Amino acid sequence: MRIGVPKEIKTHEYRVGLTPSSIRELVHRGHAVTVETQAGLGSGFTDADYRAAGAEIAGESRSVFQDAEMVVKVKEPQPGEWAMLREGQVLFTYLHLAADAEQARGLMASGATAIAYETVTDRFGRLPLLAPMSEVAGRMAVQAGAHCLEKAQGGQGVLLGGVAGVPSAHVVVLGGGVVGSSALRMAIGLEARVTVIDRSLPRLTELDDRWGPRLNTLFATMDGIESAVLDADLVIGAVLVPGAAAPKLVTREMVSRMKRGAVVVDVAIDQGGCFETSHPTTHAEPTYMVDDVVHYCVTNMPGAVARTSTIALNNATLPFVLALADKGWKQALADDPQLRNGLNVHAGRITHEAVAQDLGYGYSPAADVLT
């Protein structure tokens, strides 16, 4: 198979779809890989590194898209990239379509087969291609939130861990999954006072057993969320419904009553965000204010630590890329129901139920597409 790796063009996105190490594996199996020039530079990989791994270097993205049977990216394709996709071509990347109707229309119009990292599952129902970036984003959320709490950034001028004789900040984490558990780990390590809220009692029990008195666990009710958010200095939105839009757990009215200079970091923004006051931001302009509350809603947080993120992501995606390349997409999806869960769009049809429901489109089951 001929595989293409274009340079990411989303604002301040420095990750790359395949590392030289991954390309070496593909070339060893007889596949051809074309990489756009300087595609890996933001992650510390030069064109010379890719050539040494066996890749061809293309001077522009159009050449990459034109020649590739499968395009491997990191972030969702931008409008200029939709036009370069074609019928019969496979796109393997993060999509987050439930919160992006325009992109969904673009992919449907292209006729391409789009497989989303974020809806591929494992046999336990977990999301193995989302997990590494969720871990990075969860850790970064505390780092970004601590910075936003500084007075010069619009925050109330609070140090997360406090100092002797001064109380530590209260960090509230909405969701105890991969993002949430990574965030609370960082916050506890910085000696903040931490509350995690989740609707799963077994998950809360796991977290309570692990962290003991260093963590306050709270079952998710509107009353519980409201009381915790109003007391918080930093709120991290870490909720996820696979493939679907994030639920709005924090209302605009709640935000209006939060502490002046408090901070919200909405890691769920890729799926529409879990605060009613959230809208997507970029690394170039990461924050904005609503009712004197700082909002950090960057849609590609892990892109800021591109080398760590790219390597971690490739560790997870490479087995699936190899399967798609070795077998072809139809056989690979037929053989692996977990990878089949990643199919979101094929030949103008939405093939993931949660995405179809949120966008109001008809749903064509992936199993039907394969037959």
Catalytic hit among 266, 270, 336, 358: 270
Across the strands, what pairs with 197?
A: 174, 218
Q: Is the separation of the CB atoms in 249 and 271 below 8 Å? A: no
Residue 244 DSSP label:
S
Measured distance CA(25)–CA(308) in Å, rounded: 20
Cα angle 342-237-360, degrees, rounded to a multiple of 5: 45
Contact present, 278 and 265 (Cβ < 8 Å):
no
Q: Which of 96, 170, 295, 352 is catalytic?
A: 96
Please name the amino acid found at residue 277. T
Phi-psi category of residue 10: left, alpha or beta, with phi > 0 → left and psi -120 to 50 → alpha? beta
Q: Are 63 and 33 in contact (CB under 8 A)?
A: no
Indicate the SS3 state at residue 136.
helix
What tokens does 107 get? Answer: 């992919």
d(CA 156, CA 130): 33
Tokens of 353: 């139920």
Measured at the alpha carbon of residue 280, what is the angle toward residues 62 and 249, in degrees to the nearest 5? Answer: 135
Is 352 among the residues known to form the active site?
Answer: no
Is 270 part of the annotated catalytic residue set?
yes
Write out the catalytic residue numbers: 96, 270
